[in-house]
């Protein structure tokens, strides 16, 4: 096993400073937006699901969603294809095809098959994109602490293999549900990690463990890797503290917008205050 802790980026500092989380304490916390700041101050470094008070009950067919997505219709997009759970394809041999947003959306509605249409993951929204309240992170921090958000749109079966981004993340689930499997950064040395784009993305550290092939939770349990797994869905925002490894499976056709905290403006885990 590659036990190396790559000294690139902020991850090595996070690794040094993160509290050790025991399996019995590794669970997802649920709270309201108001309770969130209080939860975060406890510095447990645990992920939190924030239940929105909007109760928007949206689907890909809702008129608000259709109207919102229309603004992207003419955009050219790169859609991920291939073996989604394969870490090598994710990190090093990523395959994409070019499409137009409107065409992809139409295909997604007609044909919910990952091998036919692929996954529009991490589509960066431009500065002039309009964002409705149900796509925003909880109104607790100044909007300018966040980087431009990304949109994730895809059918069931879309998988993002195990990796960490080194940034605090608010993943706003708008339509559909995803299963998240999380591993705290203390297990960095056990996860055969590499940095696929050292010049472009120093904070993207990917694991070569193919959780899909190895049997997911069973593999984690067998190897005594602390972990938690849960499903996150509409009107919920996952707060994922910087450093957590995540493996994400789309369970039903899904639309999500995620907001990374810009570390040039706020230290990763400002929320839990890594000095």
Ligand X SMILES: O=C(O)CCC(=O)C(=O)O
Give CA–CA dist 251/14, Å, rounded. Answer: 31
Q: Indicate the residue among 67 and 177 with the shorter CB distance to ligand X.
A: 177
Q: Which is nearer to ligand X, 187 or 246 (CB)?
A: 246
User: d(Cα 101, Cα 88) in Å, to the nearest integer?
Assistant: 26
CB of 165 to ligand X, least distance (A): 5
The residue among 162, 208, 195, 145 whose CA lies nearest residue 1 is 208
Nearer to ligand X, 80 or 187 (CB): 80
Site map 156..195 versus ligand X, x via CB under 6 A = ----x----x---x-x------x-----------------
CA distances from 209 to 1, 215, 217 (A): 10, 11, 12
Q: Are 181 and 211 in contact (CB under 8 A)?
A: yes
What is the pairing mode between strands 29-31 and 48-51? parallel
Shortest distance in whole angstroms from residue 129 CB to ligand X: 17
Closest distance of CB 55 from ligand X, Å: 22
For residue 110, report the phi and psi dihedrals to the nearest 5 degrees.
-80, -35
Nearest distance from residue 24's CB to ligand X, in Å?
A: 26
Read off φ and ψ for residue 204, nearest 5 degrees: -90, 110
172 exposed, middle or buried (CB, 10 Å; 0-12, 13-18, 19+)?
buried
Place of tokens 């069973």: 218
Site string for ligand X, 65-104 (x = CB under 6 A): ----------------------------------------
> Which secondary-structure segment (H or E) carries 161?
strand 159-164
Closer residue to ligand X (CB): 38 or 205 = 205
Q: How far is the CB of 23 from ligand X (least distance, A)?
A: 23
Per CB under 6 A, the list member of 246, 261, 263, 269 interacting with ligand X is: 246
Closest CA to 72 of 118, 132, 117, 125: 125
Q: What is the DSSP letter of 244?
A: -
Q: CB-wise, 5 or 251, nearer to ligand X?
A: 251
Residue nearest to ligand X (CB): 160
Please, which residue, 72 or 180, has the CB nearer to ligand X? 180
Query: Which residue in 79, 248, 257, 274 binds ligand X (CB under 6 A)?
Result: 248
Measured from the CB atom, is 101 or 152 closer to ligand X?
A: 152
Residue 258 found at the interface with ligand X (CB under 6 A) = yes
Q: Three-state DSSP class for 223?
A: coil
CB 226 within 8 A of CB 187: yes
Residues 113-152 that bind ligand X (CB under 6 A): 121, 152
Q: How far is the CB of 178 from ligand X (least distance, A)?
A: 6
Smallest separation (angstroms) from ligand X to the CB of 246: 6
State the residues that interact with ligand X by CB under 6 A.
Answer: 121, 152, 160, 165, 169, 171, 178, 246, 248, 256, 258
């Amino acid at each position: 096993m590659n036990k190396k802790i790559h000294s690139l980026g902020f991850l090595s500092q996070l690794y040094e400073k993160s509290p050790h989380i025991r399996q019995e304490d590794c669970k997802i916390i649920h709270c309201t937006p108001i309770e969130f700041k209080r939860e975060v101050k406890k510095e447990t470094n645990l992920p939190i699901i924030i239940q929105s008070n909007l109760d928007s009950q949206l689907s890909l067919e809702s008129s608000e969603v259709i109207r919102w997505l229309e603004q992207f219709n003419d955009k050219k997009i790169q859609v991920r294809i291939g073996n989604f759970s394969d870490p090598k394809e994710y990190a090093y041999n990523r395959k994409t095809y070019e499409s137009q947003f409107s065409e992809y959306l139409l295909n997604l509605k007609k044909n919910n098959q990952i091998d036919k249409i692929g996954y529009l993951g991490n589509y960066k929204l431009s500065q002039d994109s309009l964002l409705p309240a149900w796509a925003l992170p909880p109104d607790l921090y100044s909007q300018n602490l966040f980087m431009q958000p990304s949109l994730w749109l895809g059918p069931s079966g879309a998988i993002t293999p195990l990796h960490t981004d080194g940034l605090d993340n608010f993943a706003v689930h708008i339509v559909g549900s995803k299963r998240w499997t999380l591993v705290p950064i203390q297990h960095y040395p056990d996860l055969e990690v590499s940095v696929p784009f050292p010049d472009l993305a120093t904070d993207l550290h990917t694991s070569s463990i193919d959780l899909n092939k190895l049997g997911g939770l069973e593999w984690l349990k067998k190897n005594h890797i602390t972990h938690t797994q849960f499903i996150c869905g509409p009107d919920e925002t996952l707060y994922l503290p910087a450093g957590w490894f995540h493996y994400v499976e789309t369970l039903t056709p899904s639309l999500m917008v995620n907001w990374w905290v810009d570390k040039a403006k706020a230290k990763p885990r400002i929320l839990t205050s890594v000095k």
